[in-house]
Structure 1
Amino acid sequence: MAELSIDNGKMTLASQTSASALGTFAPPVALDSEQQQIYSARLGKYMQDVNLTPDFPSSAATALEMWEKKNGERLDGVISVDPVALGYILDATGPVPLTDPALRVLAGSGLPTTLTGQNVVPTLLSDVYAKIQKPQLQDVYFASVAKEIFAALSSGKGDDKALLNGIGKGADERRILLWSASTDEQKVIANYPMSGSIAGASVTPAQFGVYFNDGTGAKMDYYIKRTVQLVQECTGSEYGQVKVIVTSTNTAPADAATSLPEYVTGGGFFGVPPGSVRTNVSAYGPAQANVENARWME
């Protein structure tokens, strides 16, 4: 997490922190009643849990309020960029050497000393947690990587057209999301996929949404590969019926319980056996749709 400052078109990376450093919010930040009913008060209690809801405007507004409560700063909005989108950006900028001395020391544990569009996803989503087991040092690594990539990006490194294409691709795939605290600005953003909204102008009335959130209490979700299918069924009535089929496959090593660090598997502390994965699944149907039933099959 970092504060981005823009002054007359010039961007600078200001203060950085981690979600855990913000601590626990008691009482929790005020939430939409329906969101709280579905996802519990945890949504407003921990910064790590603001994305339990797939609705980015909701999670962004909550995150902004948390930041302001802890730091006393009034911010203008929230931008989210996931590691896959970061890979698209690095494809345009080219490889980014990690020159920070602290990074090079941490990279000595087996992490790459240069980040590319090909290695940034496994590095940030998996390898860091497997090779650096102290959360405080993980935070140091993430903060330093953010500085290095931001420096490369703001220096104009790489191909401008490829960069715009990469950012556009990330936005289309909902990997780059934007929310503004300005009501007028947010009304405009809400018309586009990068709003991350689950309802409203950017979502077609017949659209389905299936969202996943790791419930293992660890970092095992990286190993889960999923497919989602929509199957139209004939009901013989005036109402249509659609079956949503989600297939999840755990690709972790067979000996993950012992070969992966406890920080990655969770060590069974949250009721999930080491090497196994628990996933929270949220499914949203079209306007006026009703859920008839849900079944789990092994």
Structure 2
Amino acid sequence: MLPLVAVGVLLLITVTGAAWLASKASAIDSELNAATLLIQPLKEAITGDNPGDAAATVKQLRAHTTAANEAANDPIWKLASSLPGLGSNFSAVSEVARSADDVTSLGLEPLVKVYSTLDWQALLPSGTGTDLGPLQAASPSVSAAANAVRLSADRLNQIDIGKLVPQVADPLTRARDQLQNATGALDAAANAANIAPGMLGSQTPRNYLLMIQNNAESRSSGGIPGALAVLSLDKGTLSLGSQSSASDIGVMAPIVPLDPEQQQIYSGRVGKFMQDVNLTPDFPTAASTAQAMWERKTGQRVDGVISIDPVALGYILDATGPVTITHPELVALASVGLPTELTGKNVVQTLLSDVYAKIEQPALQDVYFAGVAQEIFAALSEGRGNATGIIAGLSRGTDEGRVLVWSGLAAEQSVIAKYTVSGSIAGPSVAPAQFGVYFNDGTGAKMDYHVKRTVQLVKECSRDGYEQTTVRVTSTNTAPADAATSLPAYVTGGGAFGVPAGSVQTNIVAYGPVQANVETAKVDGQSTDFAPFVHSNRPVGVLAIKLAPGESRTVEFTFGKIVQHTEPNVVVTPTVQAVKDVILPTEILPCGQ
């Protein structure tokens, strides 16, 4: 037997060691929490274009993460990490502390240094050109930072959470999620820094077909192309060249070739009329088709296609400030009662409603629509507005699907395809359990300005190991009861396509996740026939509804055999409504015992 004194010494060592580990755990927890509290001020400093505050905040962050990492490298802590059982918890905490310090020192510090060297105002395309050298020089640093954060995320992902106590597992899960988000953001920044200079014309001039989508007549990616123009970029110098409208392009004969799946769903109209290129929600298809049509009509092959809608133009106007109509032809058109000063508050109503009420001739409506777009881009080329506001507006528009980009160069498009700005319905930008709800006008008019919609996913109980989800779409025609006579015939369609004036007909297209099935459809709770298709291995359901003024209808598509067990999400056609008002929170139905 051990002498009593020896037992006492061992007990003292054990108690002292436990107390020491507890003090280190408290220090690590305190330092990492302090670091976490600095993330928001850092974001505010960056979005507020304040590099001085950003650098000071990162310095504080580094002090906290270094202290946490040093505490986790304590010899006794390391010894505890090697013990069976609880040792994996000490090891996991060490890895979190190490990752936090690596992210700060190898990711945030270099990024903030690069950020402080960039003049974002000077980097925006303008009429006088842009020095793209600093952006090109920043690319290696941004890529290195992205790689460092990715390596940290990979290390945390290798930890077996099942062996950890909740007090360690929960913070580790949060750290994983945060690093995953940071990795995605940094990868996007690195990719942007890599391809943006070339797309802005750093080496050779670039020409893009600019499509302004008109949400008053819905198409899957937003609305009918209301105006077309060539946007030219040469070393960051922005200019707007040839302008046209979709109707000016005429009829394509023979039609632009389309893959059989999409032609079956959306018909050959996609390749026949510029007005219909975006009946498909797959923007790379719509854009490449528009590129081919433009080349046939004009002989000019553009390098890519950029799409934007009036709502996103409003976001830009919020940053540039009001734009005064100066072109004599536009001033003359505005004299019938349209505003001569456009702002973020009035541009949507002006372009999608008032122009039709005030100007009777469709050709002149197109002229006004295109002219307003030219005035707004002229303001951009003059350097109006602040870079932070413009970038924020374009980012918001991109998040809502209102700004879309396609490059005709395969290397650039392979990068763009990773992100939502691509408008792809398949590939790396699409979440595993993603649904899509898209709207195509069947009225042949501009009535969608008056339609309000909501879209909601209803997550049902699993069946035979597969997920089941219903997509619920409610549409309301808010046009006045006397819309047939009080609204212009160009807005109502005048019954030209078999839809009574004042009513709205919409083809609703619902996409499910890859490999799932679209099983049933209902309208106002009653089962109904629908057209089932497949596009890029995703199930597609299509049906049409007609709404008289004041009428509402609810369409439900139920998808089964869903193999993905991640949380579902849904993307929708961007309409006049705010996207946040269209997409409702997912409803989860209770399962029976």
Same fold (TM over 0.5): yes
Confirm whether residue 5 of structure 1 aligns to residue 232 of structure 2. Answer: yes
Confirm whether residue 250 of structure 1 aligns to residue 477 of structure 2. Answer: yes
Alignment match, 1:71: 298
Structure 2 residue matching 1:156: 3-state secondary structure: coil
Q: CA deviation at 1:130?
A: 2.2
Task: Name the aligned partner's letter for residue 88 of structure 1.
Answer: Y
Confirm whether residue 237 of structure 1 aligns to residue 464 of structure 2. Answer: yes
Q: 1: distance between equivalents of 2:321 and 2:442?
A: 35
Confirm whether residue 117 of structure 1 aligns to residue 344 of structure 2. Answer: yes
Confirm whether residue 135 of structure 1 aligns to residue 337 of structure 2. Answer: no
Q: CA deviation at 1:266?
A: 0.4
Equivalent position to 1:46, from 264, 267, 273: 273
CA-atom RMSD in angstroms: 1.0
Alignment match, 2:216: none
Equivalent position to 2:263, from 36, 44, 47: 36
Give CA deviations for 1:236-270 in whole Å, capped at 9, x if unaligned: 43122111110001111111011001110000110
Q: CA deviation at 1:123?
A: 1.1
Task: Name the aligned partner's letter for residue 127 of structure 1.
Answer: D
Alignment match, 1:208: 435
TM-score in terms of structure 2 length = 0.50
Q: CA deviation at 1:8?
A: 1.6
- Which structure has more relative contact order (CA 8 Å, sep 6+)? It is 1
Equivalent position to 1:259, from 486, 489, 505: 486
Q: CA deviation at 1:111?
A: 1.2
Structure having the higher Rg: 2
Equivalent position to 1:107, from 334, 341, 346: 334
Structure 1 residue matching 2:522: 3-state secondary structure: coil
Q: 2: distance between equivalents of 1:112 and 1:74?
A: 36
Alignment match, 2:403: 176
Alignment match, 1:167: 394
Structure 1 residue matching 2:385: 3-state secondary structure: coil
Q: Which runs of 5+ in 2 are unaligned?
A: 1-227, 525-552, 554-593
Poorly superposed stretches of 4+, deviation over 2 Å: none
Number of aligned residue pairs = 298
Task: Name the aligned partner's letter for residue 118 of structure 1.
Answer: K
Deviating more after overlay: 237-246 vs 72-81 = 237-246
Confirm whether residue 276 of structure 1 aligns to residue 503 of structure 2. Answer: yes
Task: Name the aligned partner's letter for residue 198 of structure 1.
Answer: I
Alignment match, 1:186: 413
Task: Name the aligned partner's letter for residue 206 of structure 1.
Answer: A
Q: CA deviation at 1:84?
A: 0.8
Q: CA deviation at 1:280?
A: 1.2
**Structure with greater helix share of residues:** 2
Deviating more after overlay: 131-140 vs 221-230 = 131-140
Task: Name the aligned partner's letter for residue 286 of structure 2.
Answer: S
Q: 2: distance between equivalents of 1:287 and 1:271?
A: 36
Q: CA deviation at 1:147?
A: 1.8
Deviating more after overlay: 252-261 vs 229-238 = 229-238
Q: CA deviation at 1:276?
A: 0.5
Equivalent position to 1:228, from 455, 464, 468: 455
Q: 2: distance between equivalents of 1:155 and 1:262?
A: 38
Task: Name the aligned partner's letter for residue 182 of structure 1.
Answer: L
Alignment match, 2:576: none
Q: CA deviation at 1:235?
A: 4.7
Alignment match, 2:550: none
Alignment match, 1:97: 324
Task: Name the aligned partner's letter for residue 251 of structure 1.
Answer: T
TM-score in terms of structure 1 length = 0.98
Q: CA deviation at 1:73?
A: 0.8
Give CA deviations for 1:189-243 in whole Å, capped at 9, x if unaligned: 0011100111111111101110112111000011101000111112543122111
Confirm whether residue 61 of structure 1 aligns to residue 274 of structure 2. Answer: no
Give CA deviations for 1:106-164 in whole Å, capped at 9, x if unaligned: 11222111110011111111221222121111121122212211111111111221111
Q: 2: distance between equivalents of 1:132 and 1:31?
A: 36
Alignment match, 2:249: 22
Alignment match, 1:80: 307
Q: 2: distance between equivalents of 1:289 and 1:224?
A: 30
Structure 1 residue matching 2:230: 3-state secondary structure: strand
Task: Name the aligned partner's letter for residue 465 of structure 2.
Answer: E
Deviating more after overlay: 5-14 vs 233-242 = 233-242
Structure 2 residue matching 1:125: 3-state secondary structure: helix
Q: CA deviation at 1:26?
A: 1.3
Q: Which runs of 5+ in 1 are unaligned?
A: none
Q: 2: distance between equivalents of 1:83 and 1:19?
A: 16
Alignment match, 1:286: 513
Deviating more after overlay: 264-273 vs 138-147 = 138-147
Question: What is the identity percentage for the equivalent residue pairs of Structure 1 and Structure 2?
Answer: 68
Alignment match, 2:584: none
Q: 2: distance between equivalents of 1:150 and 1:209?
A: 31
Task: Name the aligned partner's letter for residue 261 of structure 1.
Answer: P
Q: 2: distance between equivalents of 1:291 and 1:121?
A: 35
Structure 2 residue matching 1:208: 3-state secondary structure: strand
Q: 2: distance between equivalents of 1:197 and 1:126?
A: 29
Give CA deviations for 1:58-110 in whole Å, capped at 9, x if unaligned: 00000000000111111100000111111100000001011111111111222
